[in-house]
Structure 1
Amino acid sequence: MLSSRTLFDEIYRNDEAYRLFCSIAADGEDQGGWENERIQALTGDPVLAPKIGRHGADERKHGRIFTQLLHRRGLEKVDVPPKADYCMLLERQGIGLSHERLTSDVPLTDREIITYLAHSRVTEQRASEQMRQLVRAYGGNPELAKAMRMISADEDNHLAYCHEELLRLTAMGHGPYIRHALEHTARGEIRTHRDVGLAVLRAMGRILRWPLWQRALLTAGVQALYAYDLTVGRRRMIRLRMPAKRNALGR
């Protein structure tokens, strides 16, 4: 039976596939860590800046965890294929703040802070869902279970923080721009998630020598999720609600 658990188990059991999987995850987390570090440095809000720093530190920690998982198998990271580089593909669509902007020394404006938070709110929604999927897939794996649960809990905290901060800024009169930023980010993220998913499937299919029927079925699944997200699922990525866990990154 073809299920997410059997697919992830197949990836785990193959060194080359596992190496690519962990490399993509580690690079994405490291990139997120760097971005948050730069955003913290350019943020003058004494309450928000430490939370952004905590977010960045968590992402760096996640990058180290995925790298350590590779080292335990005697493996090193590989370069991430450009078509599977989620962060860079988002930036090329104008989602979030650019590398060029983050390497400057000019403090961020209120709108740029909102752009950052909207980007984080949408991408952390995806990260939270994906980590829960990995917890289900690897929950019985003694090597991976603890790491997946730790990262999943952090991603849930990041998502809660984004909701709370965007709602705070909505109350300050920034609601129209926040709605615009969330809509723009969600549309771009949905396209990028599909494109990255297809690129990773192609790479894994070559490594694991999947038969044509399996590749076709998995490709159809990615396209079906894209269609769902574009029509109905997008709502979960743009709505704001006060989280049950308040001040998740201020502790």
Structure 2
Amino acid sequence: MLSARSLFEEIVGNDDSFRLFCSIAASGEAQGGWENGRIAALLPASMAALAPKVARHGTDEDKHGRIFQALMRKRGLTPAPVPVETDYTALLERRGIGLTHDKLRREEPLTELDIITYLSHSRVTEERASGQMLMLTKYFGDHPELGRAVRMISDDEDNHLAYCHEELLRLARAGHGRTIQRILRECARAEIVVYRDVSLAVMAHMGRILKWSGSKSAALAAGIWAVYCYERVAGWRRMVSLRMPERRNALGGPATPEPEFA
């Protein structure tokens, strides 16, 4: 029976597919770490109080990248080249979502609108990350090789999502509510397209590595398209809602140390 659990177990159980999975994840986390680090350094003076939280966000993302690298090293694997069609962050940037790398490479302070854009983009992408890590924790939380890593990353992603909710609500109360909602909708609608395309590309690569049958690959692609259709009609709304999180000031303290294997 084809299920999400059996699919991930198959990917994790093969060194080549596991290598590609970890390489894609590590690359994305490293990009997120760099982006948040640059944003923390370029915050406008009016938002300087956010700097420790943005920097903590970047530190967490860097840590996640190192954890995925460590998981490969434990198996004696080296990182694989990341196919361009699986680069979630770059594809979002290409669609004009978030802050461009060109802007972040400059030594010019960002504007308040830039930070609202960053937080809105993060709120949408962290919703996706939190959901994915919750699923991996469900399937692999007790796994002897992966359990500690996925639990730690999942907890961090929940903190990141809570931070985005809290900061965006604060900015909404300061009069930016309409701008926030507009940017959230733009980000969500673009993200579900990029997520669909990346998912199809990743599954195509995994299918070639694992020698899936045509019918299995077609069934997985149909499932990805079904998720996309649901999100396009109604599911995107969960990405644009804002609510005060149970975890308050989620990024206000020191980062959690990495597991010793990392």
TM-score, with length taken from structure 2? 0.95
The answer to whether residue 178 in structure 2 is matched with residue 173 in structure 1 is no
After superposition, the C-alpha distances for 1:1-34 in whole angstroms (9 at most, x for unaligned) are 1111111111111111000000000000000000
The answer to whether residue 130 in structure 2 is matched with residue 128 in structure 1 is yes
**1:211 CA displacement:** 0.7
Alignment correspondent of 1:2:
2
Q: Write the distance in 2 (CA, Å) between the matches of 1:183 and 1:226.
A: 16
Alignment correspondent of 2:257:
none
**1:46 CA displacement:** 2.9
> What pairs with 1:82-97 in structure 2 (closer than 5 Å)?
82-97=84-99
Range moving further from structure 2, 139-148 or 160-169: 139-148
Alignment correspondent of 1:37:
37
> What pairs with 1:69-108 in structure 2 (closer than 5 Å)?
69-108=71-110
Runs of 4+ in 1 over 2 A off after TM superposition: none
Query: Residue 210 of structure 1 aligns to a residue in which SS?
Result: coil
Alignment correspondent of 1:56:
58
Q: Which residue of 150, 157, 160 corresponds with 1:158?
A: 160
**1:138 CA displacement:** 1.2
> What pairs with 1:180-219 in structure 2 (closer than 5 Å)?
180-219=182-221
After superposition, the C-alpha distances for 1:92-114 in whole angstroms (9 at most, x for unaligned) are 00000001000011111110000
Q: Write the distance in 1 (CA, Å) between the matches of 2:48 and 2:103.
A: 21
Query: Residue 234 of structure 1 aligns to a residue in which SS?
Result: helix
**1:209 CA displacement:** 0.5
**1:139 CA displacement:** 2.2
**Is 1:19–1:78's contact at 8 Å kept on the other side of the alignment?**
yes
Q: Write the distance in 2 (CA, Å) between the matches of 1:91 and 1:84.
A: 13
**Is 1:5–1:136's contact at 8 Å kept on the other side of the alignment?**
no
Q: Write the distance in 1 (CA, Å) between the matches of 2:121 and 2:78.
A: 30
**1:190 CA displacement:** 0.5
Structure 1 gap segments, 5+ residues each: none
The answer to whether residue 248 in structure 2 is matched with residue 246 in structure 1 is yes
Query: Residue 22 of structure 1 aligns to a residue in which SS?
Result: helix
After superposition, the C-alpha distances for 1:126-176 in whole angstroms (9 at most, x for unaligned) are 000000111112123111001000000000000000000000000000011
Query: Residue 234 of structure 2 aligns to a residue in which SS?
Result: helix
TM-score, with length taken from structure 1? 0.99
Q: Write the distance in 1 (CA, Å) between the matches of 2:139 and 2:197.
A: 23
**Is 1:186–1:234's contact at 8 Å kept on the other side of the alignment?**
yes
**1:225 CA displacement:** 0.5
**1:231 CA displacement:** 1.1
Query: Residue 76 of structure 1 aligns to a residue in which SS?
Result: coil
Q: In structure 2, give the amino acid aligned to 1:19.
A: R
**Is 1:19–1:77's contact at 8 Å kept on the other side of the alignment?**
yes
Q: In structure 1, give the amino acid aligned to 2:26.
A: A
Q: Write the distance in 1 (CA, Å) between the matches of 2:106 and 2:75.
A: 39
Q: Write the distance in 2 (CA, Å) between the matches of 1:161 and 1:61.
A: 18
Q: In structure 2, give the amino acid aligned to 1:173.
A: G
**Is 1:205–1:215's contact at 8 Å kept on the other side of the alignment?**
yes
Q: Write the distance in 2 (CA, Å) between the matches of 1:90 and 1:137.
A: 28
Q: Write the distance in 1 (CA, Å) between the matches of 2:58 and 2:141.
A: 26
Q: Write the distance in 2 (CA, Å) between the matches of 1:147 and 1:100.
A: 32
Structure 2 gap segments, 5+ residues each: 254-262
